[in-house]
Amino acid sequence: MTGSIVTHLIRKDLRLHRLQILLTMAAGLVALAILRQTGEVPFVLGSTWFFVAIIVLGSMLPVATIVNERKKQTLTFLMSLPLSSMQYTTAKLVSTLLMFLAPWLGLLLSAVVLIATRNPASFGIVPILLILASLPVVGFSLILATALVSESEGWAIAATIICNSSYGLVYYLISRTPSLTVNWTGHVAVWNAAVLRFLSAEVGVVAVIVGVTFLLQSRKRDFI
Amino acid sequence: MLDTEYTEYTQMHGGLTLSQSDKRPMYLQIMEQIKMQITVGDWKEGQPIPSIRQLAVDIGVSVITVKRAYQELEREGIIVTQQGKGSHVSTIPGLGASLREQELQQHLENAMRVAAQLGMRPKEVEKRLRDAGERLAEKETV
Amino acid sequence: MNGLAAELNAVSKRYRYFLLDKVSLKLPEGQIMGLIGANGAGKSTTIRILMGLVHQDSGEVRVLGHRMPAGQIAAKRDIGFASEDMRLYDSMTLGWHMNFIRSIYPAWDAAYAQALLKRFSLCADQKIKGLSHGQRVKSTLLLVLARKPKLLVLDEPTTGLDPVARHEILRELTNVMADENRTILFSSHNTQDVEQISDVITFIDRGRIIDSMDKEIYLDRWRRLRLEVPLGTQLPALPGVIDVQQQGRLAVATANAFVPDLANAYENSGARVQCIQNMTLEEIFVANVEHSREEVEA
């Protein structure tokens, strides 16, 4: 057997869902193409679409990879393999995060490059861009955790709705926080303390979510 | 099992199939069919027969059923099992003929039992038997 | 010479509307055990506990020497599990699944897998979503059989299949028997299949094991005696007879512990034994379940 069982499961997920990943990436790239046009309308359209692409990917993936295993009854097939529920959880977390983060990173980098080449004068926006784009990552891990632990489509959808409706508010609050926005109109990306704290908080939250997921999964007595 | 191996075995026990509509226990059916093979001479005296497990696989029944059939057959002296050497048909001369006799005996006893239930006397049964024999002889000459 | 492939000792599991009550079970190596029971009797729960997929509330479970559910990873390396509610990935082909399993289990026998494809009339290039129910079941079984696992645990492997497909699967299961080190546990509604290929029969009803023994011995214990009862004769209550149905002068006695003396006892009481019939496993099933439920209620 080449590689551990967890690797096999991750590869399996990547193979199974490659179409969805590609489609979302394509949508994101279209968004970026629109952003390349100058003008306010393309800017609003493009940036909205860009974030929507990331958010949609984040909401759709957990359902596709986790909830469907139970719905389509393939979970029993997987659990008949020589693995524990912890290994399953690890594989799902890793594969789903990979499937989300890879396109996410690609889109983010494309956006940064776009700004750097097309609009270097507004490069100062990059830290905020990172903060804003990272929020769906936090939301995504929450939806992912909910899907894994609850194994219920209903709960996953509820988590999705809560997250998606919160982004707007959080974005608004961020734009109203001077310590974060003070340098965003400049042409230099300034990573001040506030920005760094916010980013580390986001990372911290994700870590806690993952930790709690493992804890709750380990206490499950009826895996099927 | 490779297909070539399979054909060899069908030659050996091609006759052994269980009937679902036969209400008798499976092990009895197996015993009967093995005795039949011996009676008609397909399985000769002293000939090695498949192991319990092998026959079970070939017929498609549980090992325990074949085991029981073999045990009963051994008790009746029809087959012999040697530790480590497998099983073979008994080397009693005239085994086929004696099995045929046993079958006839069984039929006759059944007939007497039914006659008793119907309240028929042995003399009546004798007459009936002779009539049946004559009818059979007539059919064969036609 | 043979140990136990699996053992359950006083295993209990409580659900909201169902209780698996101190189930004990011994599955000897090299044998085929048929698990029968009505719907909801606890067959699937017992099997899932055996596989370590469900954690029992109390009691010990050992499979292939491993304690379950703690040792499930090691145990599952040598177990082939297929259940009726298990599905494969719709959008992938059977061939993809075969490669997937092969990459995980080194004991995969590619030649045998090809032979099974032919015997089951399956096409490796076909996507799972295009398969009929029977083809899907056979595909799942192929994946489990081609690995040649030491223990096969099958939850309703022939349910919903046409007679030809059922026959094909039973054939393969009996072929597994050729290796005396391999064991099969299967649950089924099809009493005919269980009767034919099982070495041991285990009966489960309402969360309890009501019988578990050698099939031949078990079948031998059950008889129906058809009796003619003259007027004025009272049929005695005999040990080993669990039910007597009488209409007028004819009666049918069902015995679950038959000995020839039973017939004599009836004859001595004045009744005439018309015939003594063996019972099929299906008849035994129904009689047994009815009897055990009466006992519980009494």
Average pLDDT over residues A28-40: 76
Is A1 touching C (CB cutoff 8 A)?
yes
Domain C223-278 part of CATH 3.40.50: no
Torsion of CA B89, B39, B61, C5, to 10 degrees: -20
Give the residue, A50 or A138, on which the prediction is more confident.
Answer: A138
A144-197 pLDDT tens trace: 999 889 888 889 889 988 988 888 888 888 888 888 777 777 778 788 888 889
A63 phi/psi in degrees, rounded to 5:
-65, -45
Q: Within an 8 Å CB–CB cutoff, is residue C31 touching chain B? A: yes
Average the pLDDT over C88-107 and give the result. 94
Q: What percent of chain A has pLDDT over 70?
A: 97
Widest Cα–Cα separation across chain B: 59
Establish whether the linkage from the previous residue to B25 is cis, with ω within 30° of 0: no
Q: Specify whether the CB–CB gap between C18 and C40 falls below 8 A.
A: yes
CB contact under 8 A, C220 and B25: yes
Enter the tokens of residue A122: 């507004």
Tokens 């099929």 -> residue: C280
Distance CA C285, CA C289 (A): 6
More confident residue, A223 or A131: A131
> What are the extents of the domains in chain B?
3-89, 95-141
Q: What is the pLDDT at residue A108?
A: 85
Residues whose CB falls within 8 Å of the CB of residue B124, separated by 6 or more in sequence, listed in order: B115
pLDDT at B1: 42
Residue B45 contacts residue B91 (beta carbons within 8 Å): yes
A77 to chain C: which residues are within 8 Å by CB? 86-88, 140
Contacting C residues, span 66-85, partner chain A, CB-CB under 8 Å: 72-77, 79-83, 85
Residue C253: strand pairing partners: C225, C244
Has residue C171 got a pLDDT over 80?
Answer: yes
Residue from C8, C15, C78, C9 nearest C47 by CA: C8
Give the H/E segment covering residue C5.
strand C4-14
Per-residue confidence (pLDDT) for residue A168, from 0 to 100: 85
Biggest CA-to-CA distance, chain A: 57
SS3 for chain B, per residue?
Answer: CCHHHHHHHHHHHCCCCCCCCCCCCHHHHHHHHHHHHHHHCCCCCCCEECCHHHHHHHHCCCHHHHHHHHHHHHHCCCEEEECCCEEEECCCCCHHHHHHHHHHHHHHHHHHHHHHHHCCCHHHHHHHHHHHHHHHHHHHHC
Cβ A36 vs Cβ A114: under 8 Å: yes
B70 near C CB under 8 A: no
Q: Min CA distance, B94 vs chain C (Å)?
A: 31
Mean pLDDT, to the nearest integer, of A130-141? Answer: 89
Residue C159 in contact with partner chain B when CB distance is under 8 A: no
Check whether C4 has a pLDDT greater than 90: yes
- Asked if ipTM goes beyond 0.85, one says yes
* A42: exposed, middle or buried (Cβ count in 10 Å: 0-12, 13-18, 19+): middle
Residue in A closest to C96 by C-alpha: A12
CATH no., domain B3-89: 1.10.10.10
Read off the pLDDT band of C21 (50, 70, 90). very high
Q: Go through C171-198 and write b for each residue having 16 or more CB atoms within 10 A of its CB, e for each that does not.
A: ebbbbbbeeeebbbbbbbbbbebbbbbb
Give tens-digit pLDDT for A158-167. Answer: 998 898 888 8
* pLDDT, tens digit (0-9, with 9 covering 90-100), for C69-87: 889 999 999 999 999 889 9
The domain segmentation of chain C, as residue ranges, is 4-218, 223-278
CB contact under 8 A, A76 and C76: no
* B13-68 per-position pLDDT tens digit: 445 777 777 778 899 999 988 988 888 878 888 888 999 999 999 999 999 999 99
CA C250 to chain centroid, in Å, comes to 35
pLDDT at A53: 78
* CATH top class, domain C4-218: alpha beta
Q: What is residue B14's predicted lDDT score, i.e. its pLDDT? A: 46
Q: What pTM did the predictor assign?
A: 0.85
CB < 8 Å to B24, chain C: 278
Whether C279 contacts C288, CB under 8 Å: no
Strand order of the sheet with strand B79-82? B48-49, B86-89, B79-82
**End-to-end CA gap in chain C:** 42
Q: Residue A3: which pLDDT band, with cuts at 50, 70 and 90?
A: low
Inter-chain CB proximity C175 and B1 less than 8 Å? yes
> What is the per-residue pLDDT for C142?
97
Q: What is the pLDDT of residue C33?
A: 97
* For residue C287, pLDDT beyond 90: yes
List the chains bordering chain C where 3 or more Cβ pairs fall under 8 Å.
A, B
Provide the pairing of β-strand C183-187 with C151-155: parallel
Contact B25 C215 (CB under 8 A): no
Say yes or no for a CB contact (<8 Å) between A77 and C88: yes
Stretch (H or E) spanning A215: helix A193-218
Mark B60-84 as b/e (b = at least 16 C-beta within 10 Å). bbbbbbbbbbbbebeeeebbbeeee
Q: Does B93 touch chain C (CB under 8 A)?
A: no
How close A80 comes to chain C (CA, Å)? 6
Q: Residue B36 has what pLDDT?
A: 86
Q: Which residues pair with B131 in a beta bridge?
A: none
Q: Place C2 in a pLDDT band, splitting at 50, 70 and 90.
A: low
According to DSSP, the residues that pair with C213 across neighbouring strands are C201
Q: State how beta strands C200-205 and C208-214 pair.
A: antiparallel
Q: What is the pLDDT of residue B8?
A: 39
